[in-house]
Every structure is written in C-alpha cells, then in structure tokens.
Chain A
Amino acid sequence: MLETIWFILITVLFVGFFFLEGFDFGVGMLTPFLGKSDTERRVMINTIGPFWDGNEVWLITAGGAMFAAFPNWYATLFSGFYMALFLMLLALIGRGVAFEFRSKVENPKWRSTWDWVIFFGSLLPALLWGVALANLMRGVPIDADMNYVGSFWDLISLYSLTAGVSMVLLFLLHGALFLSLKTEGVLRERARAVAYRIGAWTSAVLLLFVVLSYFETDMFTSKGLSPGMVPVLAGLALLSVHFFIKAGRDGWAFIMTGATIVLSTITVFMLLFPNVMISSLNPEWSLTVYNAASNTYTLKVMSIVALTTIPFVLAYQAWTYWVFRKRVTATDHLDY
C-alpha cells in the first residue's frame, strides 16, 4: 500500500519535472535559433528566468524521493545508467551556470558560447530521459543481485533513440508554445510558426515510438496496470495542438502539449507498475515496488512529510507564475 503511494508520488514528481522543465528545456533548445539578436535571445531566456531553477528541483526531489523510498531502484538505476547520467549531469551543470554567466560579459563570442551550452544542456537531458524511459519499459540486463550488467551502448538502440527524439520534439513544441504565451511581436510569431511545424513531426515520431513499443516491449500484453484511455487521450491532446495554434488559441495549445506530457508519463509508469526496472535476463530479477522499497516506517514518515509539503510547493510555485504572468518584451528591464 505505502509502496504504491510512493510509486504514485514519484510518478507525480516526474510528471511535474517533465511538464515544467519540459518547456524550459524547449526554450533552451530554441534560444540559438529563434533569437535572431542578442536582445531576442535575452528575452527568450528571461521568459524562463524566474522559473527554471524551481522547475529543476522537481528532478532533484524525484532523485531524493527514490533514494529514500526505493533505495534499490535508486542504486540500480543510477549505477546502471552511469555514463548516461554522467552526460546528463554535465549538461545540467553547464546549463545552470550558463543562464547566470551569459549576460555578464558583452563579447558576442562569450554570449554565443553560453547560448550553445544552454542549447546542449537542454537537448541532452531531454534526449537521455527519453532513452532512459524506453529502457525502463523494454527491460535491461539486471542480475540476481539487482546490479545492471550491461554497458552504456546496451541502452542505445533504434527504439530508445526514437523515444529520445520524441521527448526532444515534445519539449521543443511545449517550449515554443510557452514562448508564444510569454513573448510579443515577431518573436511570438516565429515561436508559433515553429510550433506549428514541429507539431506534425512530434505526432509522427511519437506514433513510431508506440508502434516500436509493440514489438520491443511486452507492455501491450504485460501484467502491469492497464492504462485504458490515458494513452489515447495523450495522442488526442497532441493532435489537437495543431488546431489550437491555427485557431490562435495558444493557451489551449500549451495546455494540450502539457497534457500530452503528463498523460504519456502516466502511461509509462502505469505500464511499468508494479515493476520499477525490468530485468531482461530473468523476470524474477526485476525490481518491483516491493523488493526495491524502504521499510514501512520510513515510507510512513516520508509520506507525512511529502503530503504536507507538496501543497505548499505547488502554491508558491503557482504564485511565481502569477507574479511573472506578463509577457516579456525587449523594452523590459532585462538584466538583473
């Protein structure tokens, strides 16, 4: 019971992370391309300036929660996906300081260097999270001692890369729509145009991923929870983005990419349950919410802490979005 609650809480944390950091990763990837001048790039960065740090904490919290609630999941995942995680951490380091460093020197080379760090720092984690999720769904070589016995290259396949590319495209779309809500004038028009173009590609690649999943995983026949209509709704939400942009309803379009991210993440976790990591060597060696979990006492204490604090976190993070609800324009005081 408590194990299930914690599985749900970790799902919630990943959903929050992908939804929130999804758009700031998207903005980060778009910055060097959509921003034609330094001012435009600055405007783009400032649209996520007050938020990205708080968004990233969803990942930190997911990591901490996994450590506390499912130590074996935490240990197997992060020692197993070692090189992938290493690359992701390098990307996140670069991205985190780039936001702070880029504007401190006026030299265009300096700025473009950090803009590219922001680009790769947003691209790599998106790609790698897609790869990681695909491997969680397909199963990886895990031995009887819960240790991953494969290499980095075992994680890379056409299937997992398709998942990575879908994630990147989904975040690009999400980010472009966020920009269309937070900017004005030409920049906004460009963001909308990009979203309009990426939309179709995102749908196509995600569809390819679903088809490949049929062959690569036993998710369609597995004993996991049946996600029912959830993935269908995710697909419909994604398809509707196109029409909302056309109709000029950017807000709805953004909500729909958000819904796609949320519903697909929920689908993955539902299909996985009660497993958290599937062993491709022997199903008996899979990690489940039961054999990966902490003791009951820890889960109880952690539940109390989580359930009392998360509402506050949601409240003050929501307040942030309210404080900075206005569009960012070039006439704003952009530096800080």
Chain B
Amino acid sequence: MEALELARWQFGITTVYHFLFVPLTIGLAYLIAFMQTMYVVKKDDKYKRMTKFWGKIFLLNFAVGVVTGIIQEFQFGMNWSDYSRFVGAVFGGPLAVEALVSFFMESTFIGIWIFGWDRLSKKVHLACIWLVAVAATLSALWILSANAFMQEPVGYEIVNGRAEMTSFFALLGNKQLWVEFPHVIFGALATGSMFVVGISAYKMLRKQQTDIFKASFQIGIVVVLVSSLLTAFAGHDQAQHLMKSQPMKMAATEALWHTSGESAPWTVIASIDPEKRENRFQLEIPYALSILSYNSLTGKVPGMLELQAEYEAKYGPGNYIPPVRTTFWSFRIMVGAGMAMIFLGLFGTIAVIRNKAEKYRRYLKWMLPAMALPYIANSAGWIMTEVGRQPWIVFGLQKTEDGVSPLVSSGMVATSLIGFTLVYGILASVFVYLVVKTVRQGADEADESHDPNHTPNADAAPAPSL
C-alpha cells in the first residue's frame, strides 16, 4: 500500500479509537461531579462511595483517552506535513489554545482531585472535578473548531499558496462548529449515562450494593433520555446545515445519485453500486428527506451526479464522490443506535418513576450489552463525517492526497500503524479487564466511623490498600 493509504488508515484507526474514550471522559465527568455535589450537599456517605466507584472507572478511561490524544496532536506533523504547512496558521491555532486553556486545566485538576480527597476542603475538592468537566468540554470545543474548519473553512485567506487566519472570531463563530459541538457534547452525556446505567443494571440484577447502584441507575437513566433526545435534535440541525455546507456529503449519506423531484423521499435501505453509480434496490419513505432537510414537504435535494458535474466545473477534473456505501450505512447505524437509546431511556425513566426498575429484569439484562450503543453511534457518526468529506482534507481547499507527508515512506507509516494498533489493542484489553475487575469489586464499603448503621461483614476481606 502507498504511504497515503496507510496514513489514512492510521488517522482513521487512531481517531476512532481515541474517540471511544473521549465521550465517556466528558459525560462521566459531569455525572461524577453531580454525584459528588450530592455528597457535599446532602452529606450522605452513599454519594461519596458512588463518586469514588465511578471515579475509579473514570480514571482508567481518562488515562487511555489522554495518551491516545497525544498521538492525535503529533500525527498531523508526522503523516500530514503538507497539510500542516498549508493550514497550520489556521488549524494550529485552536489546537494550541486547547492545550493552553483546557488541557492544562484538565490535567492539573484531575491530579489534585485524585490525590486531594484528604487534603482539601470538601468544597475546594468538589470544585476540582467540576473544573475537570468544564475543561474537558472546552477541550472539545477547541478541537471541534479545528475540525469544523476542515468541514467548512472560514476566517482565512489564501496567501502564497497557504491558508492564513484572518479572523479568530470567525473560526469560533463557524456555523459548522455550533451544529457539531452540541451534537458531540449531548452524545458524550449520552455515552456517560448509558455507561453508568449499564453497569448499575448489572449490579442491580446481582443485588450487589443496591443502595449505590439503584441511585446511580436513577441518575443515569434520566440523563440517557434527555441527552439522547437532545443529541437527536442537535443532529437534525446538523443535517440541515449539511445541506448548505456540504451537499455532496448529504447526497452520499442518502445514496442519492440524481437530484430529487420537488419532494424528496428518504431511502431507508439500499443496495448501492458505486461502480455503475446507481442503486440496484432501495426502500423509500415519501417526503421524508425533504422534511429532514428543510422541515417541509417539498424541497429538492441535489444528487451526487449533478454535484459531481458542478464540482468538476468548479475545481477541475476528478472524482468528488465520497465512498457512498460507508457514508450511507454509517449514518443509518448512528441513527439506529441513537433511536434505540431514546427508547431504552424512555422505558427506563418510566420504570424509575413507577419505582419498578428492579422488577424489569429482562430490561436490566439488555442494558449491559446496550452500553455498546453509544460507542457504535459515536464511531459511526465520525466515520460518516470524515469519510463523507473525502476527497477533501479541507473542504474545497486541499485534497487529502495533497496533504500527506511527501517524504515519509510507506514502510515508516506501516511500522507506526502496526505499532500503534498493537499497543492500542493491548490498551483496550487491559482497560476492559480492569473495568470488569473494578465493577466486580463494586463500591468500597461504607466507612464505619461515618456510618453508624453499618455492620461489618465478617466474610469481607479488608480492602487492599496498596
């Protein structure tokens, strides 16, 4: 394979992998901050044990998220040096600001939070986890403003063959950023809460420490419902914006080869033939795509072939159609997983309101595998967004093939690709092993000195302190 292909695989693998950990970091940080706030306000030790239990898992996840994030930053220079030269003056800005404003804050206060339980006042210690959550969110904002520039370049001009920043506020005010950011943050909350709900359900089924896990379930399931609904609404906004900013991505997502009539039907599933540029078979819902795109029963949606002709006239000869099957199916997988989460969240919330969650054992059993749903949705969403942007690395400005490092050999990229993938595989196995172990151990028992009702369990071995 060529260095370009390998560099693309490396970017895809490392990015999707990194993004398995990021949403949980953001979502869980808020849930833990909320739990610890409950502890500080209600002074109930249950919430402290809850905070510490979820904190352990949070830290495992945080560690992998951080180290895989470092690769992301340096990869642009390693594999995409011509891209870095071309957009560094614009794209590098948000990255540097992210490190200065958010990452310093996140990394410093997480250290204080981990080791500061006995050294700080309760309120100061609580403030630390809130700062971590806020910093993680800001981090996402800066990184997404860089990504939004790749989707929809703004605030720049081309001088001597490279992009130069002309307005920092244009970058921050990028419409694309403000449809992307809420979708990602609500998605992160949905990920964090599905995670809490899934594990809590597992512990409730086994009737282990139900005080902690029933309460965690209750907090989590409400967040699942609200955040997955909000994610869907934000996603709808994003799709409508896509119609204007990247119609080709939209057309590929819908496998729409020819511009639709006055009212566009939505294709549920299709058998796509990218060679012949047609669909062999498709199942349609009338009007639905017009509603999706314009909130109206009528509205033409441009097709890929017409857009291809338009782009050729504008940018010169070449293939401007992204991999249609990938974008089409990843979109449907994302939406399907999101719908399932809304449904599960609604069912669970009703169960909690009726105080019957523990009785729905089959539902609880389903919630453990359902933890995979947000991960599937997050990954599919990014694949659709990034693959759908092809052949562009920066939409309309630079093609992916022109961004690659010209003198980095395919052997070097292959080595690093294999190296990172192997290490990532090990990390994933260890991470899962340790999360399972932590879940099995459950929350620490209540501290007797704080809890007069606690009766020591003769069978329980003392918790290892080292």
Binding site for B on A (CB under 8 A): 38-39, 42, 46, 49-54, 56-57, 60-61, 63-72, 74-79, 82-83, 85-86, 89-90, 92-94, 96-97, 99-101, 103-106, 145-149, 294-295, 297-298, 301-302, 305-306, 309-310, 313, 316-317, 320, 323-324, 333-336
Set of chain B residues within 8 Å of A56, measured between Cβ atoms: 70, 107
- Which of B97, B104, B116, B120 has the most chain A CB atoms closer than 10 A to its own CB? B104
User: B269: CB under 8 A from chain A?
Assistant: no
A125 to B161, CA, bound (A): 35
**Residues from chain B with Cβ under 8 Å of A302 in the complex:** 93, 96-97
Given A92-B70, A305-B96, 9 more A-B residue pairs with CB atoms under 8 Å apart are A52-B111, A65-B96, A72-B85, A75-B405, A97-B427, A294-B88, A305-B101, A306-B96, A313-B104
Q: How far is the CA of A270 from the CA of B26 in the complex (A)?
A: 41
Partner among B67, B89, B420, B434 whose Cβ is within 8 Å of the Cβ of A298: B89
Contacts of A57 in B (CB 8 A): 99, 103-104, 107-108
The reply to whether B96 and A61 form a contact with Cβ atoms under 8 Å apart is: yes
> A86 contacts B120, CB within 8 Å?
no
**Can you name the residue of chain A whose Cβ is closest to the Cβ of B142?**
A64
Q: Nearest 7 A-B pairs (CB), nearest first?
A: A71-B88, A78-B77, A68-B92, A67-B92, A294-B89, A64-B96, A75-B81
Instruction: Tally A-B pairs: CB < 8 A.
Output: 238
Residue B76 lies at the interface, judged by CB distance under 8 Å to chain A? yes
Complex Cα distance, B63 from A49, in Å, reads 13
Which of A70, A146, A298, A320 is the one whose CB lies under 8 Å from B108? A320
Could you say which of B85, B105, B164, B438 contacts A316, with CB atoms under 8 Å apart?
B105
Assembly CA distance A63 to B101 (angstroms): 14
Instruction: Say yes or no: B88 contacts A68, CB within 8 Å.
Output: yes
Alpha-carbon distance between A168 and B405 when the two chains are bound, in angstroms: 31
Stretch in B38-46, B232-240, B283-291, B407-415 with 4+ CB within 8 Å of A: B407-415
**B466 to A82, Cβ gap below 8 A?**
no
* Residue from A53, A83, A90, A147 within 8 A of B66 (CB atoms): A53
Is the pair A83, B412 in contact by a Cβ cutoff of 8 Å?
Answer: yes
Q: B114: CB under 8 A from chain A? A: yes
What are the residues of chain A within 8 A of B159 when measuring CB–CB? 295
Which residues of chain A have C-beta atoms less than 8 A from B71's C-beta? 89, 93
Interchain Cβ contacts under 8 Å between A and B, 12 examples: A57-B104, A61-B100, A64-B95, A66-B92, A67-B96, A74-B88, A78-B76, A295-B165, A297-B166, A301-B93, A305-B101, A316-B108
Residue on A nearest B62 in the bound complex, by CB:
A100
Contact status of A53 and B96, CB under 8 A, knowing A82-B416, A323-B120: no
Q: Are B103 and A60 in contact (CB under 8 A)?
A: yes
Which residues of B are found within 8 Å of A100, using beta-carbon distances?
59-60, 62-63
B111 close to A75 (CB less than 8 A): no
Which residue in chain A gives the minimum CB-CB distance to B405? Answer: A79
* Chain B contact residue count (CB 8 A cutoff): 74
| Interface SS, B side | helix
A47, chain B: closest CB distance, angstroms:
11
Question: With A101-B434, A301-B165, A336-B115 in contact, is A82–B97 under 8 Å at CB?
Answer: no
Q: Which residues does chain B contribute within 8 Å of A46, judged by CB atoms? A: 115
Contact B118 A333 (CB under 8 A): yes
Give the chain B neighbours of A149 by CB distance below 8 A: 407
Q: What's the Cα separation between A97 and B68 when bound, in Å? A: 10
Q: Note all chain B residues with C-beta closer than 8 A to A103.
A: 466
Q: Name the residue of chain A whose CB is nearest to the CB of B63.
A: A100
Flag B338-364 by CB within 8 Å of A: 1 or 0 each: 000000000000000000000000000
Residue interface bits B403-445, CB-to-A below 8 A is 1, else 0: 0011110001001100110010001001000100110000000
Q: Are the C-beta atoms of A90 and B119 separated by less than 8 Å? A: no
Can you list, as one digit per residue, whether each of B446-466 has a CB less than 8 Å from chain A (1) or not (0)?
000000000000000000111
How many angstroms from the CA of A56 to the CA of B104 in the assembled complex?
9
Nearest residue in A to B413 (C-beta to C-beta)? A82
Tell me the complex Cα distance, A249–B296, Å: 78
Distance in angstroms between the alpha carbons of A50 and B168 in the assembled complex: 34
| Docked complex Cα distance between A90 and B412 (Å) | 14
Contact (Cβ within 8 A) B92 A61: no
Please name all residues of chain B whose beta carbon is closer than 8 Å to the beta carbon of A94 when the two chains form the complex: 423
- B434 and A79 contacting across the interface, CB-CB below 8 Å: no
Taking CB as reference atom, which chain B residue is nearest A87?
B419
Known pairs A69-B92, A93-B67, A323-B119; A60 contacts B73 (CB<8 A): yes
As a 0/1 sequence over residues 288 to 301 of chain B, the CB contacts with chain A under 8 angstroms (1 = contact) are 00000000000000
A67-B84, A294-B164 known; A54-B111 Cβ under 8 A: yes
The digit string for B47-79, where 1 denotes a CB below 8 A from any CB of A, is 000000000000110111011101101101111
Q: What separation, in Å, do the CA atoms of A94 and B67 have in the docked complex?
A: 8
Q: B372 near A: Cβ within 8 Å? A: no
Query: Which residue of A39, A52, A74, A105 has the most chain B CB atoms within 10 A of its CB atom?
Result: A74
Chain A residues, CB < 8 A from B465: 333-335
Q: Which residue of A lies closest to B464 (CB)?
A: A106
CB distance from A39 to the nearest CB of B (A): 6
Are B78 and A96 interface neighbours, CB within 8 A?
no
Verify B415–A86 contact, CB threshold 8 A: yes
Please, which residues of chain B bring their CB within 8 A of the CB of A79?
77-79, 81, 405, 407-408
A64 to B165, Cβ gap below 8 A?
Answer: no
For B430, the closest partner residue in chain A by CB is A101
Which of B89, B98, B103, B465 has the most chain A CB within a 10 Å cutoff?
Answer: B89
Shortest beta-carbon distance from A332 to chain B in Å:
9
Q: Which residues of B contact A306 (CB under 8 A)?
A: 96, 100
Set of chain B residues within 8 Å of A333, measured between Cβ atoms? 118, 465
Complex Cα spacing A84 to B456, Å: 55
Please name all residues of chain B whose beta carbon is closer than 8 Å to the beta carbon of A74 when the two chains form the complex: 76-77, 84, 88, 92
Which chain B residues lie closer than 8 Å to A324 at the CB level? 115-116, 119
User: Cα distance A335–B114 when bound, in Å?
Assistant: 10
Query: A285 CA to B73 CA in the complex, in Å?
Result: 26
Whether A68 contacts B74 in the complex (CB less than 8 A), given A57-B103, A79-B405, A86-B415, comes out as: no
CA distance A301 to B172 in the complex (A): 13
Name which of B107, B164, B412 has the most chain A CB atoms within 10 A of its CB: B107
Least CB separation from A76: chain B residue: B81
Determine whether the beta carbon of A297 is less than 8 Å from that of B100: no
User: Which of chain B's residues has its CB closest to A49's CB?
Assistant: B115
User: Do A295 and B89 form a contact, CB below 8 Å, given A147-B406, A310-B100, A317-B108?
Assistant: yes
A36 to B215, CA, bound (A): 43
A69 contact set on B, CB distance < 8 A: 92, 96
In the complex, A187→B130 CA distance in Å? Answer: 36
A52–B93 alpha-carbon span in the complex (Å): 25
Complex CA distance for A67 and B95, rounded to whole angstroms: 8
* Residue numbers in A under 8 Å from B103 (CB-CB): 57, 60-61
From known contacts A96-B63, A97-B430, infer whether A68 and B95 are also in contact, taking CB-CB under 8 Å.
yes
Bound-state Cα–Cα, A29 to B120, Å = 30
Residue B324 is within 8 A (CB to CB) of chain A in the complex: no
Residue on A nearest B434 in the bound complex, by CB: A104
Interface contact A75-B63, CB-CB below 8 Å: no
A304 nearest CB neighbor, chain B only:
B168
Report Cα–Cα, A94/B87, bound state, in Å. Answer: 31
